[in-house]
Structure 1
Amino acid sequence: MNNQQTESLLTLLVNDIRHQVPSGTSLSQLLTILDVESNSVALVCNGQVVPKNLWQSTCCEDNAQIELFGAVAGG
């Protein structure tokens, strides 16, 4: 029996670019991995806007389609 732990990876499509991240990665952690400043973007996962207050507690799912949009101030 092999005692080495193998970490499973998730495949995500972020702004049409394929990325692999460890299973259990939160949306907040994903932004850190991608070196994206969290206060400068809006995040859509599988067609649903995810409120910023849920990013820390929401884990990425395999084959998720994630879109990041730059936040623009104005009126």
Structure 2
Amino acid sequence: MQIWLNDKAHHVESAVDLSSLVEELTLPSESVAIAIDGQVVPRSQWPQTPLTDGLKLTVFQAIAGG
């Protein structure tokens, strides 16, 4: 399946929901936020949010600094 990840086409191997996508991409789940069509999906809903072909996701990573 192909999704759009931060405006770039990305082929998904085995992920079926947002939680498994975070694992597949080896992202640190505690420091990322994911939006679908501009709407942030709460982390608690990642396992229930299915991936579909052509889905447009934006991944934001927390940056610490001062």
Normalised to the residue count of structure 1, the TM-score between the two structures is 0.73
Cα 1:68/1:61, change in 2 over 3 Å: same
Q: Which residue matches 1:12?
A: 3
- Do the aligned partners of 2:15 and 2:24 also contact (CA within 8 Å) in 1? no
Question: Runs of 5+ in structure 2 lacking a partner?
Answer: none
1:56 is paired with a residue of what secondary structure?
helix
1:40 counterpart (31, 35, 49): 31
Moved over 6 A (4+): none
Cα distance in 2, alignment partners of residues 13 and 70 from structure 1: 17
Relative to total residues, which structure has the larger helix share, 1 or 2?
2
Q: Which residue of 2 aligns with 1:27?
A: 18
Deviation at 1:35, TM superposition (A): 1.1
1:69 aligned to 2:41?
no
CA-based RMSD of the aligned residues comes to 2.0
Q: Structure 1: where are the runs of 5+ without partners?
A: 1-9
* Distance in 2 separating the partners of 1:73 and 1:21: 29
Residue 7 (structure 1) aligns with: none
The structure with the largest alpha-carbon Rg is 1
